[in-house]
Structure 1
Amino acid sequence: MGEVRKLQKKLRQIENLEIKFSLTPEERVKISRKAELRSRLAELQLQLSGPQQTPGIEGDGKKEKMKRQVDDAPEAVPSQMSPASKILKAESQSKAEESPAPRARPKEARGAEGDGRRQGEAGAAETQQTPQEEAGFASLRASWEKAKFRLRLLDGHNDIVTCVVAVDNLVISGSRDTTVKVWHVPTATEQKNLGGHTGAVTCLCAPPSEFCERLAWSLSLSDKERFILSGSADCTVRIWALTVGQCVKSIYTFNAVTALCFAPEGGGYIVTGSDGGKVQAWSWDTFENCQSVNAHEDAVTCIQSQGPLVFSGSAEGGVSVWENRCSERDPLRRLSHWGGALTGCGAGPGGRLSLSPRGDTVYLAYGQAWLKVLHWRTGVMSKLTNHSSVAGATDCVHQTGGLLIGSCYDLANGESSLNVFSLPQCRYLTSLTWPDAPRVLCLASWTTGSGDHRWVTGGRDLVVWEQLPSSGKQKGDVTVRRNHGLDTALESEGGTEDEETDDDEDGERGGDGDDGGSDEGGASVWWRCVLQ
């Protein structure tokens, strides 16, 4: 077991080295050992998983043994668990055991009102499904087990694709090669190449159509014109008119822009995050700065809006929730902030946190084998398994049409897939992959008039996913498979030593003397991805 954990740790350190902007000769030597370490890890996993074969796991036996988790994470000691976590775990275990007498809840009560809210959230998470709901879920799962997608590669970027958005029949992508490209989806062709940034493009967003009309009118352009916002490491936000293919406005932020979104309340605001942890708001009417807050201790790696709320997440694992007060000055008021100590999402130096909000819940991806679920009003944390091994990495999380999609990358063998869950219960449906699938760093989605899914994924490759009729004769390009290790429901957040500490130690100390690497660039490393 010890050697397996050490190999997994070394592979994770090598992946962290690969996202650096430049490598020393010693680091290149370490990276060259990746194939050797993966081979040794596969051999050990095959030996250890042989006598522990679990009935019901589908697929080729040898491959499944190699991928199966070697050992289960130890349960948290009761004295180290928060009251809310104890309640969640007690209820979950009592239901799993189907005991006639439910397990007694712990007597500790620290703050009756706060724990009451936590208990309510726990009860909601464990709500039993009605027969009708179970039948509906079974039908949905069966339909996804027959899902077919046609994949089309959009070839044109010279470096990693860091961000994607979809507008009508267009896909817009941003890359570390400093360009923003516009793609026509029906023909899978490059329509425009928007050059102008002098640094890596790190983020994109599309303002709602009514705000595009206002800007188009002020610029004497067609009221059908659509605009795209791009943020870059060159400290600028550029506003592009898609039809004319030109930059119509540019905002200098004085900080490398690492995340942005559009807040549509009131007159509309552009909200940006910087590599130093700053959150800023800019007026859509005047493009002047309305607010600047030192919100996070590390780089802001994601910002998403949901109605009047704005959610920001940073590399150290902190999550802030803001309310748009629609005022000309200081439009954002912070409602709550949860640090990395609570979320457990600190990915170490150069790490990246991705989030997707849904009501009072925020889904978090942070480069580990789990998706985290934060109830941001109460601070209750849950964990959703997104990989059957602790060697898995989750880089992005996305919601579309009642589905939760989490990217999944196996550090041990380099396999990549997308895991699909149903909302709001977060029940596992299926996994989608294809031969030589690259690591997925970003994802966007939309649906056709007939309700079929269209997705676009970015990373080393930019790929459009087109859903095909399941009853048709045409064969899809993706492989649909079930990973029974993901069938477990949401778990209370007790945390494990492996999950919470290994990567932080790697990032701070570089692991043991054999595998550590320096972290040039600190928190700004994450947008400099180099996937091999």
Structure 2
Amino acid sequence: MAASLESEIYNEVRKLRKKLRQIENLQRLDRELTEEEEVKVSKKLPIRLQLQDLLSQIPEEDIPLHSRAASSSAVNSATYSTAESSVSWSTADSSTISSPDTVTAISPASARTDTESGKGVGGGAEVKEDEERENEKVTTDMKPSEINDRDNMKRKSDSQNIPNETISESQRAQTVPKKKSKKAAHKEHDEKVFKLQKAWRQSEFVVSCLEGHNDLVISVALEKDWLLSGSRDTTMKLWEGSTGRELYSFGGHTDSVTAVLFIPKEDCADLAGQYELAEDDRLLVSGSMDCAVRLWSLKTGCMVKSIYTYNPVTCMTYCTPGRLLVTGSSGGKVELWSLATGENICSLVAFDEATTCLRMDDDKIYSASADGFIKIFTIKDGKLSLLFESEDVKGVNGEDLLLRHIRSLSTSKDTIYYGDDGSNLKVLSWKQGIVHKLKNHVCEFGSTDAVAVLEDQVLLTAGFDLDNGCGYFNVRSLPEEQYLSTVSSADTGRMMCLQCTRLPHGAVRVATGGTELKIWEQVKTGMKISSPLPVNGAIVTSHYNPKYTSSPQNSDIDSDTETDDEGSTGLWARFTGSSGRAGTRGQPHRESDTEEDLDQPRRWCRLL
């Protein structure tokens, strides 16, 4: 292919991807589309077919694995995933399998063989050289903080290996027990990662599509065998996870249900007493754009209490101390509510644009916004106290960050994992004020709409392939952040929310919402798949894509505000005001709206 023709094709591919991105963003707007917008959306399929035709002229190795499979209509979802897995895993050579993400993932069996043969046990020049080469190879896959930790461990180990004759009796008495040697620590790390790789690569999932909602599913919650879902169709539904059976449909909201959650069991008894419910009743909460939070009884399916919030609720989390509900609003507020009385405990305008994410972890409230900022609060004397704000965070090389609409957030210890309208997952070490990136899409266009952490060991991030409309989620180990696998099926669209839980027998259950509501239940090694499959069920196999182990590239820096071929500005930016922009210092959080704030475009609720 001539270089000029290849360049022309790539430019056309980029234009079509921009159009698809605008259409996808239009379809997720929580309002009726105009006639002009409906015309644009109607062009989605022809644009995607044109894009697929152009991609067929590009070398196959430049196309994501899930793109190749999903573009073929001759395979069903189960066959698609299994065949895809065999291509991406069994045909990979040894250099692929030990690429940067698996450089330290050594089979325990091979590690034992090395020990038995004498390697790494005694001294000698050969052993020392082998260890130096191993350390050099491991260092190439380590983050700066990990290298510092390793070097500190080495210095401590060296200081403890002083000959006995140079240590006095008093010093020997004060000597602390030796920590694990560097090699033992590496071996323990290798075994852990190896187990995770074995569990997630080529892992089978039984996928069930739950039918009942008639619009986008934008919030899910998991507990035991229950799945809770909130939708743009104004309903919240409770499902039985093992069967996919709908148990309850909770109606009453007049606008999109944007957030759902289970009240922890230990707090339900006291709250149930407040509302004259059975002590063993479970309580559910829904938040909506209709400016209401509703408390529901699981036993009766009835609403227990409705709290008017005066602002559309965009996100929600629960704070056990004080039994408080934390809500975020389209006006940038973070608020505390007493579920026992319905009283507003604290109201704070934290952001200039909508609050998009809330998460409670230990005693901290993590919040994020459509203007690209993150803030951490604690609760002191019933008030929100600011602990951290991300105004001055930098990249690993000290560079400024491009602020984009933050769509998802999760935490693990002191690390924040968040997704925005860029193609990479962002990782914020908030105590150091440093952000690094993990590859979550293989092309320059994409957004990470959902992030979930399982037991501080596994990180799941939703992705979306614009080329074929295929949704997927990537799996990484924690805290190593090493890519393990990708899980997808050919008939899955964009995933806008995601939650996961560990089942009693050890397997993982994942719930995803978006264009469809699905349960992905991992088949634990040695277990047989139940037959027959659930209604609308299929079997898929996770696959390994080495492209996700490469260094992340910067996302496309052109915002949707640039003019398209039809002469109109980007629709997503026009209607949400959330285009990407260079980092700017945000305004201090404030207690109430000012007159200037009231002039800003914002969604308001009417008190009926």
| TM-score of the aligned structures, taking structure 2 as reference length | 0.69
What is the aligned partner in structure 2 of residue 336 from structure 1? 388
* Equivalent runs, 1:95-494 vs 2, <5 Å: 120=145, 123=148, 130-265=186-321, 267-325=322-380, 327-328=381-382, 330=383, 332-339=384-391, 344=401, 346-347=403-404, 351-401=405-455, 402-472=457-527, 474=529, 477-488=539-550
Structure 2: gaps (5+ residues): 1-9, 73-83, 85-132, 153-181, 396-400, 531-537, 579-600, 604-608
Counterpart CA distance in 2 for 1:61 and 1:417 is 11
Q: 1:515 to 1:423 in 2, by over 3 A?
A: farther
8 Å CA contact retained: 1:317, 1:339: no
Counterpart CA distance in 2 for 1:126 and 1:25 is 62
What is the aligned partner in structure 1 of residue 27 from structure 2? 18
Counterpart CA distance in 2 for 1:354 and 1:526 is 21
Q: Aligned residues, how many?
A: 464
8 Å CA contact retained: 1:164, 1:204: yes
SS in structure 1 of the partner of residue 252 of structure 2: coil
Counterpart AA for 1:336: F
8 Å CA contact retained: 2:66, 2:470: no
8 Å CA contact retained: 2:64, 2:442: no
Q: 1:156 to 1:42 in 2, by over 3 A?
A: closer
Q: 1:168 to 1:143 in 2, by over 3 A?
A: closer
What is the aligned partner in structure 1 of residue 76 from structure 2? none
Q: Deviations over 1:205-254 (max 9, x none)?
A: 22222221110122222221111111101101111111111111111111
What is the aligned partner in structure 2 of residue 91 from structure 1? none
Q: 1:438 to 1:523 in 2, by over 3 A?
A: same
Deviation at residue 510 of structure 1 after TM alignment: 5.0
Counterpart AA for 2:478: L
Moved more, 21-30 or 476-485: 21-30
Deviation at residue 433 of structure 1 after TM alignment: 1.1
Counterpart AA for 1:337: E
8 Å CA contact retained: 2:331, 2:355: yes
Task: Report the aligned-residue RMSD.
Answer: 3.5
Counterpart CA distance in 2 for 1:277 and 1:61 is 37
Deviation at residue 462 of structure 1 after TM alignment: 1.3
SS in structure 2 of the partner of residue 458 of structure 1: strand
Q: 1:345 to 1:158 in 2, by over 3 A?
A: farther
Counterpart AA for 1:354: S
Counterpart CA distance in 2 for 1:17 and 1:126 is 50
Counterpart CA distance in 1 for 2:335 and 2:151 is 38
Deviation at residue 26 of structure 1 after TM alignment: 3.0
Counterpart AA for 2:389: H
Deviation at residue 465 of structure 1 after TM alignment: 2.0
8 Å CA contact retained: 1:58, 1:482: no
SS in structure 2 of the partner of residue 255 of structure 1: coil
Counterpart CA distance in 1 for 2:441 and 2:221 is 26
Deviation at residue 511 of structure 1 after TM alignment: 4.3
Q: 1:262 to 1:309 in 2, by over 3 A?
A: same
SS in structure 2 of the partner of residue 238 of structure 1: strand
Counterpart CA distance in 1 for 2:300 and 2:563 is 49
Counterpart AA for 1:30: K
Q: Deviations over 1:376-420 (max 9, x none)?
A: 122100100012112333210111131100111101211211111
Counterpart CA distance in 1 for 2:392 and 2:295 is 33
Counterpart CA distance in 2 for 1:396 and 1:61 is 20
Counterpart AA for 2:482: R
8 Å CA contact retained: 2:224, 2:503: no
Counterpart CA distance in 2 for 1:158 and 1:64 is 24
Q: 1:422 to 1:207 in 2, by over 3 A?
A: same
Counterpart CA distance in 2 for 1:473 and 1:45 is 39
SS in structure 1 of the partner of residue 539 of structure 2: coil
Percent of paired sites with the same residue:
35
Deviation at residue 11 of structure 1 after TM alignment: 2.1
Counterpart CA distance in 1 for 2:408 and 2:65 is 31
SS in structure 1 of the partner of residue 21 of structure 2: helix
Counterpart CA distance in 2 for 1:245 and 1:214 is 19
Deviation at residue 40 of structure 1 after TM alignment: 3.8
What is the aligned partner in structure 1 of residue 159 from structure 2? none
Deviation at residue 167 of structure 1 after TM alignment: 2.7
Counterpart AA for 2:439: T
Counterpart CA distance in 1 for 2:564 and 2:345 is 43
* Equivalent runs, 1:3-152 vs 2, <5 Å: 3-20=12-29, 21-49=31-59, 53=61, 120=145, 123=148, 130-152=186-208
Deviation at residue 39 of structure 1 after TM alignment: 3.7
Q: 1:516 to 1:37 in 2, by over 3 A?
A: farther
Deviation at residue 41 of structure 1 after TM alignment: 3.5
What is the aligned partner in structure 2 of residue 76 from structure 1? none
8 Å CA contact retained: 2:262, 2:285: yes
Counterpart CA distance in 1 for 2:496 and 2:67 is 30
Q: 1:122 to 1:270 in 2, by over 3 A?
A: farther
Deviation at residue 523 of structure 1 after TM alignment: 5.9
SS in structure 1 of the partner of residue 351 of structure 2: coil
8 Å CA contact retained: 2:423, 2:448: yes
Counterpart CA distance in 2 for 1:122 and 1:314 is 33
8 Å CA contact retained: 1:313, 1:320: yes
SS in structure 2 of the partner of residue 224 of structure 1: coil
Structure 1: gaps (5+ residues): 68-94, 103-117, 528-532
Q: Which protein has the larger Cα radius of gyration, Structure 1 or Structure 2?
A: 2
Counterpart AA for 1:484: P
